[in-house]
Amino acid sequence: MNNNKVIQVEGLTKMFGDFTAVNAITFEVDKGEIFGFLGANGAGKTTAMKMLIGISNPTSGNANVAGFDVFTHTENIKKNIGYMSQKFALYDDLTVRENITFFGGIYGLSRKRIKEKSDALIEELGLQNVANKLVGALPLGWKQKLSFSVSLIHDPKIVFLDEPTGGVDPITRRQFWELIYKAANQGTTVFVTTHYMDEAEYCDRVSIMVNGKIEALDTPKKLKEQFKAENMNDVFLKLARG
Amino acid sequence: MVSISVKHISKSYKSVNALQDISFEVKEGELFGLIGPDGAGKTTLFRILTTLLFADEGTATVAGFDVVADYKSIRNSVGYMPGKFSLYQDLTVEENLDFFATIFGTTIEENYDLIKDIYVQIEPFKNRRAGKLSGGMKQKLALSCALIHKPKVLFLDEPTTGVDPVSRKEFWDMLKRLQQKGITILVSTPYMDEAALCDRIALIQDGKILEIDTPEAIVKYYPKPIYNVRANNMYQLINSLNAYEHNHSVYPFGEFVHYTDNRTDFNPDHLKAYLESRNLSNIHIEKTIATIEDTFMELAK
């Protein structure tokens, strides 16, 4: 495979009974790219993402994620990707440091490496004063930033972010995107879903799913030209309304 | 006439001051938005106004009734759609609606006009259990149940959180139609673009109201000229602007960065020269208009 393509998907399909949730989607994502994965509720985004991260078996098609096949090597995929969603992030009843240690342990990092990573991460996020506080006591925005950094603890090739900024205040939302830019700049591929259309503009390329199919895929600039739209919100409304 | 009146309401939980001296009024038939992120205190305020929680200090009335002394009257006069889906998952769509109608001593038929627009969209699934509905359908059922007793005031706590832009737009169209039927609506949202759809808004953060006004007026509080800046590399651009000693604020906004300068005699050409010295190209700087989100971030700073 081409080393620069960290996600390669061809004709990937998922059926539940006679309902086609994901209908033969095809796309590729480059190393270090920020790839926006958009679509209306129920368009099939979550189902597609579950196949890519190796927790749902595709019905047909091909996909290769971080160098591994989604049919046969799901355990390798899980070791080589990071995942963060708004719904499941960190353990509220563990402290900041305990959460980092726990996830570091899950991914098989050595004690020494976990210690180094913890110190670096806590300093980078400015969490020195709350390192031994329970995560449940932190403001949502801090939790989300910490959760993102924890999802990168094992230096994955790709990080999957499922609506990472929902409900977060506008300043923290932007700080969060600065973390995303930084990770991408260091070569990590970022695969992100969002309902904030201004965030779609921050992506290198954006795909829009409608009823199980990818109906558009390009840079935000080209999509706006193609749909004669002023912003990504208009592009989305034009496409998803069908 | 005043439909909701809030005077000096405060509420604390252990070490958190959830609401600090909140006061505002909502007129009858007004669509009033509480705009703020998670943790701002929006839900606490909703629970106080719907008589589910006592305030530590202050008073409030809804539809002319005191939230403490006349709580039973308020419960008959308001509809409340909590942020968390709170219908009976094991009852069908129709059973849920029938249940709420019965509790309030009415029937689905009696007020069908009010919910018709919304309910027809989920009626094909009326025998499906509520727990098996999609997010958008749950939201429509919850709104139908909150409306079935023809409330004077409707409380909607983050009805569009996690909802895609198409469904969000449809939901706001529904709210506009309800407003035309004379219902007062208090709605909260973390989406700043929805603020523009309200008659008046309160920006709220950390339990305090930052500002209350119409969406058009609120952007006038923005104190500085604001510039759209674009260059060939977004990440380098943000880093360079953050490192620029004269910056007042640097926030990515779609394809641009919104930039303000802390000098009164700011010259965009100087900024351009600086960015060029940082190896950026295709630099484009132009004045732009502050949005509600800019205003929120400036006030929250």
B248 and B111 assigned to the same domain:
no
Q: Is the dihedral of CA B27, B31, B32, B38 positive or negative?
A: positive
For residue A69, the SS3 value is: strand
B35 and B161 assigned to the same domain:
yes
The answer to whether A76 faces chain B, any CB pair under 8 Å, is no
- Closest chain A residue to B134 measured between Cα atoms? A42
Out of B161, B238, B300, name the one closest to residue A166 (CB): B161
The answer to whether A190 faces chain B, any CB pair under 8 Å, is no
Bridge partners of residue B184, in order along the sequence = B153
Which DSSP category does A230 fall into? S
End residue of a domain, out of B165, B188, B220: B220
B162 and B230 assigned to the same domain:
no
Query: Would you state the torsion angle of the CA atoms of residues A86, A91, A94, A97, taken in this order, to the nearest 10 degrees?
Result: -50
Q: How many domains does chain B have?
A: 2
pLDDT at B245: 96
Report pLDDT digits (tens) over A66-101. 999 999 999 999 999 999 987 767 999 999 999 999
pLDDT at B102: 96
B94 and B231 assigned to the same domain:
no
Out of B193, B238, B300, name the one closest to residue A171 (CB): B300
Report pLDDT digits (tens) over B182-226. 999 999 998 888 999 999 999 999 999 999 999 999 998 899 999
| pLDDT over 80 at B47, yes or no | yes
B43 and B191 assigned to the same domain:
yes
Which DSSP category does B95 fall into? H
Q: How far apart are CA A127 and CA B155, in angstroms?
A: 37
Q: Name which of B154, B53, B46, B255 is nearest A225 in CA terms.
A: B255
Higher-pLDDT residue of B40 and B57 is B57
What is the predicted ipTM?
0.82
Helical H runs in A18-131? 45-52, 74-80, 96-106, 111-124
pLDDT at A2: 58
B169 and B281 assigned to the same domain:
no
Beta-carbon separation of B166 and A240 below 8 A: yes
pLDDT at B64: 96
B129 and B188 assigned to the same domain:
yes
B6 and B154 assigned to the same domain:
yes
Helical H runs in A154-195? 170-185
B176 and B245 assigned to the same domain:
no
CATH number, domain at B289?
Answer: 3.30.70.100
Report pLDDT digits (tens) over A86-144. 776 799 999 999 999 999 999 999 999 999 999 999 999 999 999 999 998 888 888 98
B117 and B183 assigned to the same domain:
yes
Sequence length of chain B is: 301
Q: What is the mean pLDDT of residues B236-262?
A: 94
Second CATH level (architecture) for the domain A32-49+81-240: 3-Layer(aba) Sandwich (3.40)
Q: Is the dihedral of CA A21, A27, A33, A36 positive or negative?
A: negative
Q: Can you give the residue range of the structural domain that contains B14?
A: 2-220
Beta-carbon separation of B297 and A41 below 8 A: no
Report pLDDT digits (tens) over B53-83. 999 999 999 999 999 999 999 999 999 999 8
A87 residue type, one letter? K
Q: How far apart are CA B208 and CA B137, in angstroms?
A: 33
Report pLDDT digits (tens) over A156-215. 999 999 989 887 888 889 999 999 999 999 999 999 998 888 899 999 999 999 999 999
CATH number, domain at B91?
Answer: 3.40.50.300
Q: How far apart are CA B207 and CA B19, in angstroms?
A: 4
The answer to whether A198 faces chain B, any CB pair under 8 Å, is yes
Beta-carbon separation of A170 and B192 below 8 A: yes
Out of B39, B165, B297, name the one closest to residue A171 (CB): B297
Q: How many CB atoms lie within 10 A of CB A125?
A: 18
For chain A, the average pLDDT equals 92
Environment class of A107 (CB within 10 Å of its CB; exposed 0-12, middle 13-18, buried 19+):
middle
B80 and B19 assigned to the same domain:
yes
The answer to whether A112 faces chain B, any CB pair under 8 Å, is no
Q: What tokens appear for A82 in the block?
A: 């990071």
The answer to whether B266 faces chain A, any CB pair under 8 Å, is no
End residue of a domain, out of B220, B255, B287: B220
- Closest chain B residue to A185 measured between Cα atoms? B235
CB-CB contact of B256 with B239 (8 Å):
no
The answer to whether B169 faces chain A, any CB pair under 8 Å, is yes
B45 and B157 assigned to the same domain:
yes
End residue of a domain, out of B220, B236, B270: B220
Structural domain boundaries in chain A: 32-49+81-240
